[in-house]
Structure 1
Amino acid sequence: MAEEIELAAPRPTLARVDSLAKNPFRTPSSASLADFESFSRSPTPAAQLPDLPSTPPPAQTPPASRRRSEVDLQAEEAGQKMRRMSMGDETGTDGMSLPPIDKGKDAWSFCFAAFILETFIWGFSYTFPSVLVYLESHDPWQKESIASLSAIGTVQLAVMFIFPCTIISFFRRYPDWVRTSLWVSVAVNCLAMLAASWATKVWQLIVLQGVLCGLSGAVLYTPVLLWLNGWFHMKRGLATGIIFSGTGVGGLIFPFLISSALLDKYGFATMCRAWAGITLAVYAIAVYLIKPRVPLRKPRGPRSPWFVMSDFRFLKNPVVIVMTLTSFTSSLAYFPCSLYLPTYTSTLASPVSANIVVAVFNLAASCGSAVIGYTADLSTPITVMASGLAGSLLALTAWGFASSLGAVFAFAVLFGFATQICSTWGPAATDAVGANPHLATLVFCTFGIFRGIASIVGPYISTTLFEPVIAQEHAAWGRFGFRRVIIFVGAMSALSATGGAALHWARKYNARVKAASA
């Protein structure tokens, strides 16, 4: 029985079977309009129809589904790349196998060298309160105001926090000059410290120890920021905490080495000369050891631009905005406490006790950096909130009611341990830009810039809040003219605690945006 089917609207990809049989090399695109017209109007026997699948052809993948497939493919490729990186099964631009991330001798050797730089560069900076106590009581510096003397240390900190972003751009543009720049910085740092031994004016110390030592220290420390994200990914918070703990280790040892062993026995000039010799040897070892995961090569083509504006799109990221403001407010509380706590202690006991407080504070900061770095890997928002609340409560209670040396020691331990906000920067940068080492470093430097600004603004505000006219007052709360300083520290710490909740919201917002665009 001949069954005939009427085709009302043929798809453009179909052609007459008999026409193809006559000319098998004729393609559907070469069929004439008349062929299609006659074919569509004539009944076609079912026997001549091509065999069609029993199920309808799949519908064309919509753009959204295709985008999801592409995102899944990219995620799978990224996961495979991370697995290759963790096993060391990865090749660089020169075809050589690269060492694994998060483990292995090379990764932890980098961590060790970075720890050394952290200890001597930042450890000395945070030991400056001990030097400040000495300068306040010895000629020719004791006639100067506490604000001008404290500017030596605050300028050094600010320079080291603010300039790494520019130095990173220089290193990326001139990778073949990185090693030379590091060795030049070693020489500048040591010579500036040596020249400071002959200084007789405060402005000379600000230039030599504040600007030159700060700038050369920033150059020496920039490779840590530049290469850390290339060596560590899943253990970035742990590595960051270990490296940052060098500040506490240096802050524990150096107050006794600098103040008790050098300043008190031999004076300021001899201390500067001895420190120049010590750092010359230590920095030389660290520069020799520290290396990037991907070997440095001179670019074959044009050098990269100084700044690529597209790289700074992360500034609009809510996680970056929240964490920047949180770090700024937390630093406004941290630096006045770390700088003026020895002065507060010296009103209760001898200058030796002030050095002990500095050492105890920095030791607690060292332990707190590692612990907070570990907890930040688990939950950054909770860590930020807990750190801010703890700092506020400790300032308003433990410091406010501190009337004995033991109470000051207890406050120094607890506050130094709980307020290491810098150890949360690594996980926060990962939340903002993922595993991109370049962007993560820029995010890290952004946090550092605002912390550097706070290192100047915070002590300046505290100096204006300090009331020397009632420095001998023995009130029940807020003694020795520090009442308003304590309130300021407590308020800024409490404000930084709100950053934990804001950071949680920012992460959820980013997740919704990512899901909507997938």
Structure 2
Amino acid sequence: MATQAQSSSQNGMIAAESKLEANANPAAKPSFPEGGVRAWSVVFGASIALGCAFGYLSAFGNYEAYYSEHQLAQKTASEIAWIGSIQIFLQYITSLISGSLFDLHGAKILLILGSISFVFSIMMTSLCRKYYQAILAQGILGGLSTGFIFTPSLAAIGHYFQKKRGLAMGICAAGSSLGGLLFPIALKHALYSRRLGFGWGVRVVGFVVLGLLAIACTLVRERLPPRKGRFFLLRAFLQPSYSFLVAAVFLSFWGMWVPCFFIVSFAIQKKHMGGNLAFYTLSIVNAGSLLGRIIPGFLADVCVYAANSIMLLGWIRITTAAGLIAWAAVFGFVSGAIISLYPVSIAQLAPRPQEIGTYMGQASAVVSVAGLTGTPIAGALIRSYGYEAAALFAGLSMVVCTCLAAVSRGFYAGKLLAKV
């Protein structure tokens, strides 16, 4: 009897909480402009923001190669990779907070704080000469900063688009790819410039980022009133489609970032090409990613994950410069599709647009662990067994990811190859 009474009391409390949340968050579905000057200006501003945050992070392969030859030459590839991995981890784990803050308070203050601290991070990186300094300035501060830029920028788009959300987020994600195309080239010339040197080369990049983020902060804004209620929405993980999708993206990040961190050093150490051309392979990856983040919005996400599995498993079989360039372009296309499809899929699972930021932030928090651990694991495998082992690790991670994504789509749409 006592147990029944306790259960009844708990059920009553849950019902009361649900009723309170429902009253605080009216169920009326909002309308979406699906276009217009303001809506597309938000997409443009968010594209710039992601181009700076995500694009700069995508260029870490250049830092990896430079550090290994200069101030961190005594460190292993795995140790240097921790700098970028910490940055990825903190960018996504911070989204757990910034996503909910966006839903509750809007984008403006988050973007301003994130932009200021990100530029400061780049300026401090220009002064780094020791390993711990790079960890603090580039890894920790850089990751925390971009976490306040990344999720609010993407989530704001969900306030303006529903039917065209995939296209709008794809265009926004293409901005990060464009940044990933340009930043490696800029950093390559800046880091090895005899006139600028490492310090001023990185600072020049920082000033460019400052100007671009000022534009982004002006353009990106929310449209809908903030939601009320709890800071986190942990009930999302009770949705099988959400949980399996988050697990799939986790494994995709284990696989996807390995070439981004090690393709330059792979090209140089395997003597496929000279150092100058090798530095451009990362830009080639991001050039392919530019198209990959727009076009595959019309394709099934499971197919995209499967294509990534094939590319990663085939990476190590490349033996010529021409083959590596072609592989980099195709891999950029299929990996870019992951960056485009994953936030669209997460947003689609959120019951209301005012919950998109929280849903994205919670997913990003889980994915952050993959960003932290994936590339150091690959670096350790390279040191002990060679690049073949790292490619196998990345490829098999993506194979399991494909299976989990198929299960997620099965729960959501009742068939495995449902379109996003």
Match for 1:157: what amino acid? I
Q: Which residue of 1 is the match for residue 72 of structure 2?
A: 141
Q: Deviations over 1:75-128 (max 9, x none)?
A: xx98x956xx24xxxxxxxxxxxxx2x111111000000000011111000011
Match for 1:433: what amino acid? A
Q: Which residue of 2 is the match for residue 236 of structure 1?
A: 165
Stretch deviating more after TM superposition (237-246 or 260-269): 260-269
Contact 1:425 1:444 in 2 (8 A): no
Which structure has the highest helix share of the two? Answer: 2
Match for 1:465: what amino acid? L
Q: Which residue of 2 is the match for residue 112 of structure 1?
A: 44
Q: Select which of 311, 315, 320 maps to 1:394.
A: 311
1:453 aligns with 2:369: yes
Q: Which residue of 2 is the match for residue 227 of structure 1?
A: 156
Q: Which residue of 1 is the match for residue 222 of structure 2?
A: 292
Contact 1:148 1:202 in 2 (8 A): no
Q: Which residue of 2 is the match for residue 340 of structure 1?
A: 262
For residues 388 and 187 of structure 1, what CA distance do their matches in structure 2 show? Answer: 35
Specify the SS of the correspondent of 1:191.
helix
Check 1:504–1:223 CA distance in 2 against 1; reply closer, same or farther (3 A cut): closer
Aligned residues: 386
Q: Which has the higher contact order (CA 8 A, sep 6+)?
A: 2
Higher Rg of the two aligned structures:
1
Contact 1:164 1:445 in 2 (8 A): yes
For residues 505 and 183 of structure 1, what CA distance do their matches in structure 2 show? Answer: 40
Contact 2:103 2:357 in 1 (8 A): no
In the TM superposition, what is the alpha-carbon distance from 1:359 to its structure 2 partner?
0.3
Q: Deviations over 1:125-145 (max 9, x none)?
A: 00110121111112x221222
Q: Structure 2 unaligned runs (5+)? A: 1-25, 416-420
1:465 aligns with 2:377: no
| Equivalent residues in 2 for 1:201-350, closer than 5 Å | 201-265=130-194, 266-294=196-224, 307=231, 311-347=233-269, 348=271, 349-350=273-274
Check 1:81–1:454 CA distance in 2 against 1; reply closer, same or farther (3 A cut): closer
Match for 2:265: what amino acid? T
Q: With the length of structure 2 as denominator, give the TM-score of the two structures.
A: 0.85
Match for 1:401: what amino acid? R
Match for 1:354: what amino acid? A
For residues 102 and 175 of structure 2, what CA distance do their matches in structure 1 show? Answer: 24
In the TM superposition, what is the alpha-carbon distance from 1:421 to its structure 2 partner?
1.9
Q: Which residue of 1 is the match for residue 396 of structure 2?
A: 491
Specify the SS of the correspondent of 1:198.
coil
1:130 aligns with 2:62: yes
For residues 289 and 157 of structure 2, what CA distance do their matches in structure 1 show? Answer: 21
Q: Structure 1 unaligned runs (5+)? A: 1-76, 87-99, 297-302, 376-382, 471-480, 511-518
Contact 1:319 1:428 in 2 (8 A): no
Check 1:433–1:278 CA distance in 2 against 1; reply closer, same or farther (3 A cut): closer
Contact 1:327 1:422 in 2 (8 A): no
Check 1:203–1:166 CA distance in 2 against 1; reply closer, same or farther (3 A cut): same
For residues 392 and 284 of structure 1, what CA distance do their matches in structure 2 show? Answer: 38
Check 1:467–1:417 CA distance in 2 against 1; reply closer, same or farther (3 A cut): same
Match for 1:230: what amino acid? H
Contact 2:85 2:376 in 1 (8 A): no
For residues 467 and 123 of structure 1, what CA distance do their matches in structure 2 show? Answer: 27
For residues 110 and 239 of structure 2, what CA distance do their matches in structure 1 show? Answer: 33
In the TM superposition, what is the alpha-carbon distance from 1:390 to its structure 2 partner?
1.6
Check 1:448–1:274 CA distance in 2 against 1; reply closer, same or farther (3 A cut): same
In the TM superposition, what is the alpha-carbon distance from 1:172 to its structure 2 partner?
4.7
What is the Cα-based RMSD across aligned positions, in Å?
Answer: 2.5
For residues 225 and 344 of structure 2, what CA distance do their matches in structure 1 show? Answer: 25
Check 1:445–1:489 CA distance in 2 against 1; reply closer, same or farther (3 A cut): same
For residues 54 and 353 of structure 2, what CA distance do their matches in structure 1 show? Answer: 23
Contact 2:152 2:357 in 1 (8 A): no
In the TM superposition, what is the alpha-carbon distance from 1:431 to its structure 2 partner?
4.5
In the TM superposition, what is the alpha-carbon distance from 1:188 to its structure 2 partner?
2.2
Q: Select which of 346, 371, 380 maps to 1:429.
A: 346
Contact 2:302 2:406 in 1 (8 A): yes
Q: Select which of 475, 498, 501 maps to 2:406.
A: 501
For residues 209 and 49 of structure 2, what CA distance do their matches in structure 1 show? Answer: 10
Check 1:458–1:181 CA distance in 2 against 1; reply closer, same or farther (3 A cut): closer
Specify the SS of the correspondent of 2:158.
helix
Match for 1:280: what amino acid? L
Check 1:427–1:255 CA distance in 2 against 1; reply closer, same or farther (3 A cut): closer
Match for 2:154: what amino acid? L
For residues 91 and 156 of structure 2, what CA distance do their matches in structure 1 show? Answer: 17
For residues 490 and 105 of structure 1, what CA distance do their matches in structure 2 show? Answer: 42
Q: Which residue of 1 is the match for residue 14 of structure 2?
A: none
Q: Which residue of 2 is the match for residue 168 of structure 1?
A: 99
For residues 357 and 101 of structure 2, what CA distance do their matches in structure 1 show? Answer: 14
For residues 214 and 393 of structure 2, what CA distance do their matches in structure 1 show? Answer: 41
Contact 2:158 2:347 in 1 (8 A): no
Check 1:304–1:371 CA distance in 2 against 1; reply closer, same or farther (3 A cut): same
Specify the SS of the correspondent of 2:126.
helix
Check 1:445–1:374 CA distance in 2 against 1; reply closer, same or farther (3 A cut): farther
For residues 460 and 225 of structure 1, what CA distance do their matches in structure 2 show? Answer: 28
In the TM superposition, what is the alpha-carbon distance from 1:221 to its structure 2 partner?
2.9
| Equivalent residues in 2 for 1:44-193, closer than 5 Å | 85-86=31-32, 100=33, 102-138=34-70, 140-174=71-105, 179-193=108-122
In the TM superposition, what is the alpha-carbon distance from 1:459 to its structure 2 partner?
0.8
Match for 2:361: what amino acid? C
In the TM superposition, what is the alpha-carbon distance from 1:277 to its structure 2 partner?
1.6
Contact 1:135 1:142 in 2 (8 A): yes
Specify the SS of the correspondent of 2:193.
helix
Contact 1:252 1:360 in 2 (8 A): yes
Check 1:223–1:202 CA distance in 2 against 1; reply closer, same or farther (3 A cut): same
Specify the SS of the correspondent of 2:294.
helix
Contact 1:116 1:246 in 2 (8 A): yes
Specify the SS of the correspondent of 2:243.
helix
For residues 214 and 500 of structure 1, what CA distance do their matches in structure 2 show? Answer: 27
